[in-house]
Amino acid sequence: MTALEHDERYSRQVLFQGVGQQGQELLAAAKVAIVGCGATGSALASLLARSGVGMLRIIDRDYVESSNLQRQLLFDEADAAESLPKAIAAARKIAAFNSGIAVVPIVADLTPSNVTELLAGVQIILDGTDNFETRYLLNDFAVQNGVPWIYTGAVGSYGVTMNVLPGKTACLTCILPEAPQGLIETCETAGVLNSAVNLVASIAATETLKLLVGEERRLRTTLFSMDVWTNHSSELRSDTARPDCRTCVGRDFMHLAGEGRPHITMCGRNSVQIHERQRPINFTMMSARLAAHGPVRHNEFVLKFWREPYEMTLFPDGRAIIKGTTDSAVARSLYARFVGS
């Protein structure tokens, strides 16, 4: 991209007084991590890439399905047909509309064992995840290392977001000392409107720009939520830490110190994830082995195998998503039978 093309691309954003030429240069030098590239994550990635954020590190463990296309902006029918990992598909789409920025796609599940490596060197971390286990891990890492992060979530017609500035505001544990318990709505049970997703993603993206251009004084210091269907909104102050917070006051990073993680039921489908990190998979050999047991296909990123009523998606590092059950024992049994114990 020539200097003239660069100036023209961002001309309307530079005209905005809050950004300006100096702010645009700061965005070009910025490094941002987006953890999870589903609905909110893909909207965040698209907005920030179009804004000229210089480097986006997109971390996602999942692959594109047709049910994603209603709300996940960076994907299309071809991505779903190929079962492309979301991080890879997102990087390809971003390259097509803004080749001037660097996108680093990482197909992985963020865990205590890899979080330091995968989130190193970024200025801000954005939450595009679908579970509180990962959010608490993000919170632990961010607070321990003094890295700002932004919590976002959407389900049904409801969206929520909060900025966390370690040492300056409340952290996630201040507001939610424990993960929500009992009957909790998910995308699978309550569905989700793409407008709710885009609302909170737009707010979080704007907060990201404020931070990156040095306008920290403009950052919101509340937990903001809104139901786009009923028009109800609320804000809860998050400008100060809770005195008895175990994370940002007590410096107890229990999620960061965790050894291993449980099987996770994925948002939006009846599935269990199997964590296997010491089992590199040769897809060509595995396909030949599985062909006698059911339909199988693969590309360089994922292998899919069908054994009615289950569907297994296998990744090169040995991780798998078993669709058709929420029983971890059933999933583990299928994995052991067809991949190995």
**CB under 8 Å to 204, separation ≥6 — which residues?**
40, 44, 126, 127, 150, 152, 161
- Of 171, 174, 187, 267, which one is the catalytic site residue? 187
What is the distance between the alpha carbons of residues 333 and 339, in angstroms, rounded to a whole number? 10
Q: Tell me how far apart the alpha carbons of residues 236 and 221 are, in angstroms, rounded to a whole number.
A: 9
- The 10 Å Cβ neighbour count of residue 232 is 11
Q: How far is CA 1 from the centre of its chain?
A: 29
Residue written as tokens 């965005």?
Answer: 27
Count the Cβ atoms, other than its own, within 10 Å of residue 260: 9
How far apart, in whole angstroms, are the C-alpha atoms of residue 335 and residue 311? 11
187 is catalytic: yes
Cα 61 to chain centroid, rounded: 9
Amino acid sitting at position 314: L
H or E stretch at 143: helix 132-145
| Buried b or exposed e, range 327-337, using 16+ CB within 10 angstroms | ebeebbebbee
The helix/strand/coil state of 207 is helix
- Return d(Cα 94, Cα 64) in angstroms, integer: 16
Would you name the residues annotated as active-site residues?
Answer: 187
